[in-house]
Amino acid sequence: MVAPLNPQNHYDLIFLGMGAANALLAIKLFEAGAFNGKRVAYIDPRTQDKGTFHSDQTFCFWATEAEMQQMGLAHLVSASWSQVRVNGIHTPIAPYRYYHIRSEDLFRFTGEVLERHGAHHIGESARDLDLKSYPHSITTHSGETYTASDVFDSRPPEFLPCQSHQTHLHQSFYGWVVETPEPVFDAATFTMMDFNVPQMGATQFMYVLPFGTRTALVELTRFGSEIIQKEEAEEGLQRYIQAHFGPVKIIRDEHGVIPMSSAALPDSYMGRHALRTGSRAGRIKPSTGYAFKEMCYDAIRIAENSHKGHYWGFHRAEAHQRGRFAFYDRLLLQVLKRWPEQGAPLFTALFERIKTPRVLQFLEEKTQLTQEVPILMSLPKKPFLIAAARDIKSQLQGRVKTHTSVVLALLVGLLYGLQLEQAAQGLLLVGLMVVGIPHGALDHVLESKGTKANFSLAFFAKYLGLMGLMLAIWLVYAPLGLVLFLLYSAWHFGESDFKEMGLKASVFSFSWGIYLLGAVLITHLTDLNVFLPFFGVSVIAESVDILGFAAADWVVGILGLLLMIFSYLYPLYSGLRKVLWILLIGYFLPLLVAFGLYFVGHHSLNGWKHLREGLQYSNRDLWKTAWPFSLGAFALIGGFLWMSDSGVTAYWAQFFVFLSCVSFPHVWEMRKFYAAA
In a domain, 643, yes or no: yes
Structure confidence at residue 358 (pLDDT): 96
Q: How many C-alpha atoms does 356 have within 13 Å on its Cβ side?
A: 21
Question: How far apart (Å, rounded) are the C-alpha atoms in residues 203 and 188?
Answer: 26
The pLDDT of residue 670 is above 50? yes
Claim to verify: residue 641 and residue 493 sit in the same structural domain: yes
Q: What is the pLDDT of residues 625-665, one digit of tens each?
A: 888 788 887 887 777 667 666 566 677 778 788 888 888 88
DSSP state of 281: G
- Is 566 in the same domain as 455? yes
Percent of the chain scoring above 70 in pLDDT:
92
List all residues 6 or more positions away from 456 whose beta carbon is below 8 Å from its beta carbon.
none
Q: Are residues 148 and 232 in the same domain?
A: no
Shared domain for 235 and 359, answered yes or no, is no
- The pLDDT, as a whole number, for residue 160 is 84
* Domain stops at, among 354, 370, 400: 400
CA angle, 617 as apex, 614 and 618 as ends, to 5°? 130
Measured CA to CA, the distance from residue 154 to residue 295 in angstroms comes to 11
| 85 domain-assigned | no
End position of a domain, from candidates 241, 261, 281: 261
Q: What are phi and psi of 494, to 5 degrees?
A: -65, -40
391 and 446 share one domain: no
Is the pLDDT at 317 greater than 80? The verdict is: no
Report how far residue 177's alpha carbon sits from residue 218's, in angstroms, rounded to the nearest whole number.
6
Q: Which of 352, 385, 400 is the last residue of a domain?
A: 400
Residue 338's domain spans which residues? Answer: 324-400
pLDDT value at residue 51? 47
Q: What percent of the chain has pLDDT over 90?
A: 50
Evaluate whether residue 315 is within a structural domain.
no
Judge if 499 and 542 occupy the same domain.
yes
Q: Which residues neighbour 3 within 8 Å (Cβ) at sequence distance 6 or greater?
A: 130, 133, 134, 135, 136, 137, 147
Kindly tell me if the per-residue pLDDT of 229 is higher than 60. Answer: yes
Residue 244: the pLDDT is 94
Q: Tell me the C-alpha distance between 522 and 527, whole Å.
A: 10
Q: Flag whether 364 is in a domain.
A: yes
297 vs 455, residue with greater confidence? 297
3-state secondary structure of 214: coil
Question: Dihedral through CA 62, CA 64, CA 66, CA 69, nearest 10?
Answer: 30
Domain CATH code at residue 233: 3.30.70
If you average pLDDT over residues 330-352, what whole number do you get? Answer: 93
Residues 548 and 672 in one domain: yes
Residue at 79 is within a domain: no
Q: Are 615 and 670 in contact (CB under 8 A)?
A: no
Domain membership flag for residue 89: no
pLDDT of residue 570: 76
Rg from Cα positions in the chain: 31
- pLDDT in the model for residue 553: 87
- The confidence score (pLDDT) of residue 274 equals 86
State mean pLDDT over 209-230. Answer: 95
Instruction: Judge if 334 and 294 occupy the same domain.
Output: no
Same domain, 49 and 182: no
Residue 144: CATH number of its domain = 3.50.50.60
Beta strands per DSSP E along 311-441? none
Q: What does the pLDDT look like over 122-131, one tens digit per residue?
A: 989 888 888 7
Q: Which amino acid is at 95?
A: P
pLDDT digits (tens, 9 = 90+) for 27-83: 999 999 999 999 999 999 876 554 445 556 789 999 999 999 999 999 999 999 999
Residue 469's pLDDT band (boundaries 50, 70, 90)? Answer: very high
* Dist. CA 10–CA 136, nearest whole Å: 10
pLDDT at residue 50, rounded to an integer: 45
Q: Which helix (H) or strand (E) holds 507?
A: helix 507-522
Most confident of 261-265, 399-403, 488-492, 639-643: 488-492
**Separation of alpha carbons 381 and 2, rounded Å:** 57
* pLDDT of 222 over the 80 cut: yes
Residue 473 lies in a domain: yes
d(CA 407, CA 126): 43
pLDDT of residue 338: 92
Question: Mapping DSSP to helix (H, G, I), strand (E, B) and coil, where does residue 624 land?
Answer: helix
Quick one: pLDDT at residue 47?
Answer: 64
Q: Which of 252-256, 512-516, 638-642 has the lowest mean pLDDT?
A: 638-642
Closest by CA to 305, choosing from 295, 289, 319, 317, is 317
- Pairing verdict, β 274-276 and 145-153: parallel
* 271 Rama class: left (phi>0) / alpha (psi -120 to 50) / beta: left
| Whether 592 and 491 share a structural domain | yes
Whether residues 155 and 225 share a domain: the answer is no
Ranking 124-138, 161-175, 507-521, 573-587 by mean pLDDT, the lowest is 124-138
- Side-chain-facing half-sphere of 546: CA atoms under 13 Å: 8
The pTM (predicted TM-score) of the whole model is 0.71
Rank 40-54, 485-499, 529-543 by mean pLDDT and report only the highest.
Answer: 485-499
| Residue 87 covered by a domain | no
Work out the end-to-end distance of the chain between its first and last CA atoms, rounded to an integer number of angstroms. 16
Mean pLDDT score of the chain, rounded to an integer? 87
Total count of domains within the chain: 4
Q: Is the pLDDT of residue 233 over 60?
A: yes
Can you tell me the mean pLDDT for 185-207?
94
Residue 300 and residue 330 in one domain: no
How far apart CA 613 and CA 604 sit, in angstroms, is 14
Give the pLDDT confidence of 101-124 residue by residue, as tens digits.
999 899 999 999 999 999 999 989
Q: How far is CA 470 from CA 460, 478, 484, 487, in A?
A: 15, 10, 9, 13
Q: What is the mean pLDDT of residues 210-227?
A: 95
Q: What's the rounded Cα separation, in Å, for the pair 151 and 276?
A: 8
What size, in residues, is the chain?
Answer: 677
Residue 52: per-residue pLDDT: 47
